[in-house]
Amino acid sequence: MRMKSIASGSSGNSIYVGSDSAHLLIDTGVSKKRIEEGLKELGLTGNDLSGILLTHEHSDHVQGLGVFLRKYQIPVYATQGTIDAVCRMKNLGVFDTSLLTPISNEERFTIGDIGVLAIKTSHDAADPVAYRFESGDVSTAVVTDLGEYNDYIIDSLKGLSGVFIEANHDVRMLETGPYPYELKQRILGRKGHLSNEASGRLLSVLLNDKMKHVFLSHLSHENNMPELAYEAVRLEIEMSDNEYHGDDFPIDIAYRDRPGMTVEV
């Protein structure tokens, strides 16, 4: 499978995951133009997409949806809660809501040759999910926007070959930074975002011999820095009691303001 971040961070998210015959876009939280530019690096256009999957309705994940669907009639998969919330968002403008297809975390479904599993996450949205993708014996996942993780999430993410995993903030930067108290509490809370340390701990239990590439994702602009995220995650892997070391796997950053490299796993 191929993996590529088009944009990732608190200001906008859109990630590509695909096989030879199916091309999926996870979230449309940046402009149509930026999505088109990212797809172009893959040799694709919007018309080549097999489906769009939404994780949840926060604007950094859906703000480009209306404009994109007015140009490209691509089926959109999301939980019913996310669909209802998206349909209430006036700022997305008018688009063909018949493209919205409800999915549930209880049932795997397929788009082309890619099996898709939605995984419920703990986040302050209507019905948020992460996604696992399977093609042949390769599995990848997009796991961002979650305040905490549990055994269900860990079990759902076993045996991955590649993952986009949230490393949202450095706790000290957030605590001493400029955000208002309520927002800090929200981000740090059970329905907020994973810190660098929590990201490293989750990654430590997901590492396996098949893992080929890790992208630290959804980094906060105000409360994190790529080097901090990278070092904190590597340290957690070193400190964990699994057999792996921080430099056993390529760990890259999915950037906020530009597409990342295209990786084949």
Contacting positions for Zn ion (CB under 5 A): 58, 60, 145
Nearest residue (CB) to Zn ion, 85 versus 207:
85
Cβ 260 to Zn ion shortest distance, Å? 17
**60 versus 134: smaller Cβ distance to Zn ion:** 60
Instruction: Find the shortest distance in angstroms from Cβ 76 to Zn ion.
Output: 17
Rounded Cα distance between 224 and 196, Å, is 9
Q: Which residue has the tokens 């993410």?
A: 157
- Closest contact distance (angstroms) between CB of 174 and Zn ion is 15
Rounded to the nearest whole angstrom, what is the least distance from the CB of residue 123 to Zn ion in the complex? 6
Q: Look at the block and give the residue holding tokens 């080549």.
A: 48
Question: What whole-number distance in Å separates Cα of residue 110 and Cα of residue 102?
Answer: 13
| 4 versus 123: smaller Cβ distance to Zn ion | 123
Q: Which is nearer to Zn ion, 32 or 61 (CB)?
A: 61
Nearest to 79 by CA among 109, 35, 47: 109
| C-beta of 34 vs 58, nearer to Zn ion | 58
Phi and psi at residue 226, to the nearest 5°: -50, -45
Tell me the residue type at 248: D
Residue 94: other Cβ atoms inside 10 A: 9
Residue with tokens 């430099």: 247
Which residue number, 134 or 145, has a Cβ lying nearer to Zn ion? 145
Closest CA to 103 of 136, 123, 124, 132: 132
Closest residue to Zn ion, Cβ-based? Answer: 58
Instruction: Characterize 217-235 residue by residue with b for buried, 16 or more Cβ atoms within 10 angstroms of its Cβ, and e for exposed.
Output: bbbbeebbeeebbbebbbe
Q: Which residues, in sequence order, are bridge partners of residue 202?
A: none
Q: How far is the CB of 161 from Zn ion (least distance, A)?
A: 24
Question: What's the closest the beta carbon of residue 101 comes to Zn ion, in angstroms?
Answer: 21
